[in-house]
């Protein structure tokens, strides 16, 4: 087996036992990046020189017999909206095109403290606004399973990097499903942790009450491995929850006999591909064989989740992105006659079309005369959705559903239809609105394209979604197919 095909957990063990050096691992991954990146376009910035220096330091630590971190010597890719000291953090936007942060996000410090090695910053939709990674200022990332299709978004670069063997682990971020949906499209595992479990300090804000950093890996164990590293209280983040830190790896091997899983009928209705629905129902039967109980339930407010999400997310975005005005950060327009024209020209030239659309929608929702009718009403609906979920979790351990209503769509297919693009998140946004945790796990292939199932858990019940996902992964008989970067046959 090639180095790049070995799981992150196993790689860490082999590095610690001196079976393989960290430098060999980093070199193997950059060789793979040189092979694949031309086709996949997963990265905006690569940090090969720094990564090799870090690998040499790791190998020296090992030779001296020093204490090693949990992910010592393991390459990690970071979504480009998570700040990295001394490394460009662009948010895939012209307005931050040359921004080099003077500090690290807390999650980046945690990765470095545990010996992880940053190999680059991954492509994304501008300011995490999108469901296909087509809204990047710099490039379109392609789906490694079919290069004519999107990898999902907005963490499409991170998911594609993991799927194409360019990174064993990656960080993404979620506002409405941006880790889980690309994980589903790219056939990898993605976790959206409970709001407050992982520090958001250093995550460039899109919608602060919804944003959360998540992990992407090739299997459930690797994602739990990474969640152990990045979770925990941070006094720099006022929304971080101070609680006893859990070791999620300990829960993986527990069986799921007696677990009660809810199957919401609204997640299998109109707009959801029938083949995907059938694949998820087959997966439900696999859970039953493992000893879980499956029952159909109703989440009646589901139909309001998507409009509620887009009102709240865009309102918060319009406020958060006000700071990018040409004065404090990044790009500044060259031609202007007064301060107002500076603001107008900078924001008009610096932001892409989708970001402008969402700022305008959010500003309208917050404006005098419309606040009660839109933003305030959306917050009330959010409360109803939360009650919906709380009621289910009184009786059930988990909720099972598809992650995405469709297979990965073709590049450009939805570019001119924003509403159609927004529908890609219809099955994931409720988790962000309610602050719950969820995971997307591959459950097979349709037309040679990956399908992901979603397991939703109550707040701070990550161990349950990981335990169920791990049991499914090990026992469902779903065969993992590595992408072959099909491009030629698609005439790309």
Spatial contact of 198 and 107, defined as CB atoms under 8 Å apart: yes
* Res 288: pLDDT: 97
What is the rounded distance in angstroms from the CA atom of residue 466 to the CA atom of residue 214? Answer: 13
Per-residue pLDDT band for 436 (boundaries 50, 70, 90) equals very high
**Domains of the chain: which residue ranges?**
3-256+437-476
Whether 487 shows a pLDDT value over 80: the answer reads no
Peptide bond into 231 cis (omega under 30): no
Tokens encoding 181? 């949906």
pLDDT in tens, 157-211: 999 999 999 999 999 999 999 999 999 999 999 999 999 999 999 999 999 999 9
Whether 486 shows a pLDDT value over 80: the answer reads no
Torsion sign, CA atoms 340, 345, 351, 355: positive
Average pLDDT over every residue of 264-281: 95
Catalytic residues: 79, 154, 178
Residue in 24, 32, 10 with CA at minimum distance from that of residue 162: 32
Per-residue pLDDT band for 490 (boundaries 50, 70, 90) equals very low
Q: Which residues, other chains included, contact 73 with Cβ-Cβ below 8 Å and sequence gap of 6+?
A: 11, 12, 15, 21, 22, 25, 26, 55, 58, 59, 115, 117
CATH domain 3-256+437-476 topology? Amidase signature (AS) enzymes (3.90.1300)
Per-residue pLDDT band for 485 (boundaries 50, 70, 90) equals confident
Per-residue pLDDT band for 433 (boundaries 50, 70, 90) equals very high
DSSP 8-state assignment for residue 99: -
What is the rounded distance in angstroms from the CA atom of residue 266 to the CA atom of residue 16? Answer: 48
Q: Beta strand 43-46 with 117-122: parallel, antiparallel or unpaired? A: antiparallel
Mean pLDDT of all residues belonging to the chain: 96
Bridge partners of 122? 43, 79
CA dist list (Å): 423 to 35, 176, 304, 323, 353: 34, 11, 12, 29, 18
How does DSSP assign 319-331, residue by residue? HHGGG-SSSSSS-
* Res 417: pLDDT: 84
* Res 275: pLDDT: 97
Bridge partners of 174? 212
pLDDT in tens, 82-140: 999 999 999 999 999 999 999 999 999 999 999 999 999 999 999 999 999 999 999 99
Candidate from 24-38, 256-270, 412-426, 437-451 with smallest mean pLDDT: 412-426
Length of the chain: 492
Other C-beta atoms closer than 10 Å to the C-beta of 233 total 14
Per-residue pLDDT band for 480 (boundaries 50, 70, 90) equals confident
3-class DSSP assignment, residue 239: coil
% the chain with pLDDT above 70: 99
């Amino acid at each position: 087996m090639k180095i790049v095909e070995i799981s992150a957990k196993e790689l860490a063990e082999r590095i610690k036992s001196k079976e393989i050096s960290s430098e060999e691992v980093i070199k193997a991954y950059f060789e793979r990046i040189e092979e694949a990146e031309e086709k996949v376009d997963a990265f905006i910035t690569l940090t090969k020189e720094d990564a090799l220096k870090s690998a040499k330091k790791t190998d020296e630590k090992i030779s001296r017999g020093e204490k090693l971190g949990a992910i010592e010597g393991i390459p990690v890719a970071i979504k480009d909206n998570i700040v990295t000291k001394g490394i460009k953090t662009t948010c895939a936007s012209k307005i931050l095109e040359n921004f080099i942060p003077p500090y690290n996000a807390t999650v980046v410090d945690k990765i470095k403290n545990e010996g992880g090695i940053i190999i680059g910053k991954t492509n994304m939709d501008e300011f995490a606004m999108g469901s296909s990674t087509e809204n990047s200022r710099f490039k379109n990332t392609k789906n490694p399973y079919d290069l004519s299709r999107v990898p999902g978004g907005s963490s499409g670069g991170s998911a594609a990097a993991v799927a194409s063997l360019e990174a064993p682990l990656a960080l993404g971020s979620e506002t409405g499903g941006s880790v889980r949906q690309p994980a589903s499209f790219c056939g990898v595992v993605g976790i959206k942790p409970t709001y407050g479990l992982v520090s958001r300090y250093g995550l460039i804000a899109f919608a602060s009450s919804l944003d959360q950093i998540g992990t992407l890996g090739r299997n459930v164990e690797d994602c739990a491995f990474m969640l152990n590293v990045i979770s925990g209280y941070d006094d720099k983040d006022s929304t971080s929850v101070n609680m006893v830190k859990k070791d999620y790896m300990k829960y993986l091997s527990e069986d799921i006999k007696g677990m009660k899983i809810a199957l919401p009928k609204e997640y299998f209705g109109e707009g959801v591909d029938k083949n995907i629905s059938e694949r998820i129902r087959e997966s439900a039967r696999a859970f039953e064989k493992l000893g879980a109980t499956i029952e159909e339930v109703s989440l009646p407010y589901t139909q309001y989740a998507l409009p509620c999400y887009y009102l709240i997310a865009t309102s918060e975005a319009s406020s958060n992105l006000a700071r990018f005005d040409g004065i404090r950060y990044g790009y500044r327009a060259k031609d202007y006659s007064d301060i107002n024209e500076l603001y107008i020209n900078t924001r008009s030239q610096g932001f892409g079309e989708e970001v402008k659309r969402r700022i305008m929608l959010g500003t309208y929702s917050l404006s005098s005369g419309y606040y009660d009718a839109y933003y305030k009403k959306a917050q009330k609906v959010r409360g109803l959705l939360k009650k919906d979920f709380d009621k289910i979790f009184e009786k059930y351990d988990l909720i099972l559903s598809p992650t995405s209503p469709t297979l990965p769509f073709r590049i450009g297919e939805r570019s001119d239809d924003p509403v159609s693009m927004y529908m890609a998140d219809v099955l994931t946004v409720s988790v962000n609105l309610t602050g719950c945790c969820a995971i997307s796990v591959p459950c097979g292939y349709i037309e040679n394209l990956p399908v992901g199932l979603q397991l939703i858990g109550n707040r701070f019940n990550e161990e349950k979604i990981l335990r169920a996902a791990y049991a499914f992964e090990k026992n469902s008989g779903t065969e993992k197919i590595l992408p072959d970067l099909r491009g030629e046959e698609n005439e790309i």
